[in-house]
Every structure is written in structure tokens, then in C-alpha cells.
Amino acid sequence: MQGTYLLSVGVTYAEYASCISRTILVDPTPMQKTAYALAIEIHQQIVGALKPGVVLKELYCCAKETVAAKNPDLASKFVTSAGFGMGLEFNDMMLVCNDKCDRKVVAGTPFCISVGFSEPAGKTPWAVWIANTVLVPHDGGPCQVLTEGSSFAAKDVMYELGGDDEDTASVAAAPAPPPAAPKAAPAKGKAAAKPEAKAKAKAGAKPPGAPK
């Protein structure tokens, strides 16, 4: 069960496209936690800098420089592109946010801003990924994240289940209760009370304070 799980959905409506991606982290390692926190930071950095006239490769290169400065160990695991323009086409290959695209951001353009880290090699491959549909407004204001209704905050997508396993193990390791002691046999020479007599005595008894 331990690991990272990537969920991605793309939708087309009236010939226009949108997409969203989230990562579910179950008992993540320290490296996976660090990578996810940095992915959130880089995503916010790109969305904040996504303005009309900005060159797409500058957005990507700035993001990669931030990764290298914050955590050099994750630089080689960073995505090769940080998103793409979309609209009538789900992925406009002329508007890819990578280190080669000289195209500029145009007002009114929707983008898929996609940020993440991956480690495909190794004993246990893993990846973290965040993608949102973002609209660059015409009025020059901040970008609108159209898919922000689905939270990607760490507290909403990270699950620590290790404690449950430990509790289960402690219960399994608990010693079994000792067997019940056998009932003593009636003393010699004394006959055991008959069930009928016990029932009559119980029926005739009155609770304390009962009227006579």
C-alpha cells in the first residue's frame, strides 16, 4: 500500500479542453514528502509568473533554477516540461513550457501547469505530480486556477497509515487471557440445592425499600 499514486483526468466540453492531476501519498518517505512540498512551491511560482508577454522557456528555466537552489538532489528528477497551452487542442505543441519554447504567453490563453518529480529507477519507483487548468486573464490580473476546487494541499492528500499496522501488531502480540478456574464441587454430605428451590427463593425476594 505504501507509495505515491497519480490521478489524472482530462475533460473536453464544447470542443474546449481542461485537465487536472493529483498525487495521493501513502506512508511517504522523507524524500517523497520533500519533493511534494517543493512541487507545490514551484507550481505556485509558475502560476504567479504566468503573465502576458512572458517567454515560456523563461518560466521553465526559472522553475528549474529554483529546484536546483532549494534541493540539488531533486534537480535531476524534475519534469522536462512544466505544462502547455490548450483550448481547442488538448495539448498545443507550439505552447509547451520547456527550455526550448520561445513563444510568449498571450492573454486569454488557458494553460495546463504541470509540475512534478519522478524516480523511475531504483528498487521502488515513485513520482509526485500536480497539474491544474489555469486561465491567463485579459485584464492583466492574477491567473485564475480553474481546478483549484480540488485541493492539493499536503494535509488533504497525504496519509500516514503506519500507526495502524503497529496497533494491529501489538494486539496480535498480546498474551491470551488465562483459562477460567474450574467450579468447586459441593462438600461431601451436603446436597446441592435443586434448581426449583433456587427459582422459588429468587421469585420471593424483594428489592431493598420495596413495600411489604
What's the predicted TM-score (pTM) here? 0.75
Cα 186 to its chain centre, rounded Å, is 66
Mean pLDDT across the chain: 83
> Given this model, what pLDDT does residue 182 score?
52
> Given this model, what pLDDT does residue 181 score?
53
Place of cell 509568473: 49
Q: How many CB atoms lie within 10 A of CB 31?
A: 16
> Given this model, what pLDDT does residue 4 score?
97
Considering only CA atoms, which of 124, 126, 142 is closest in space to residue 134? 142
Considering only CA atoms, which of 155, 164, 163, 159 is closest in space to residue 25? 159
- Split at pLDDT 50, 70, 90, the class of 139 is confident
> Given this model, what pLDDT does residue 24 score?
98
35 burial level (CB within 10 Å; 0-12, 13-18, 19+): buried
Kind and range of the H or E run holding 130: strand 126-135
Helix (H, G, I), strand (E, B) or coil at 92: strand
Pairing mode, if any, of strands 158-159 and 16-26?
parallel
Considering only CA atoms, which of 131, 122, 152, 113 is closest in space to residue 29? 122
Helix (H, G, I), strand (E, B) or coil at 76: helix
pLDDT tens digits, one per residue of 162-179: 854 444 333 334 454 555
Q: Which three cell numbers stand for residue 54?
A: 512572458
> Given this model, what pLDDT does residue 122 score?
79
Tell me: pLDDT of 148 over 60.
Answer: yes
Residues 178-197, mean pLDDT to the nearest whole number: 50
Cβ contact 71:118 at 8 Å: no
Helix (H, G, I), strand (E, B) or coil at 131: strand
The whole-angstrom separation of Cα 76 and Cα 13 is: 36
Residues 99-121, mean pLDDT to the nearest whole number: 96
> Given this model, what pLDDT does residue 87 score?
81
> Given this model, what pLDDT does residue 68 score?
98
Give 22 or 198, the one with higher predicted confidence.
22
Tell me: pLDDT of 210 over 80.
Answer: no
If you ran DSSP here, which 8-state letter would residue 104 be given?
Answer: B
Tell me: pLDDT of 194 over 80.
Answer: no
Tell me: pLDDT of 199 over 60.
Answer: no
Residues 125-134, mean pLDDT to the nearest whole number: 97
Residues 64-93, mean pLDDT to the nearest whole number: 94
Tell me: pLDDT of 190 over 90.
Answer: no
> Given this model, what pLDDT does residue 183 score?
54
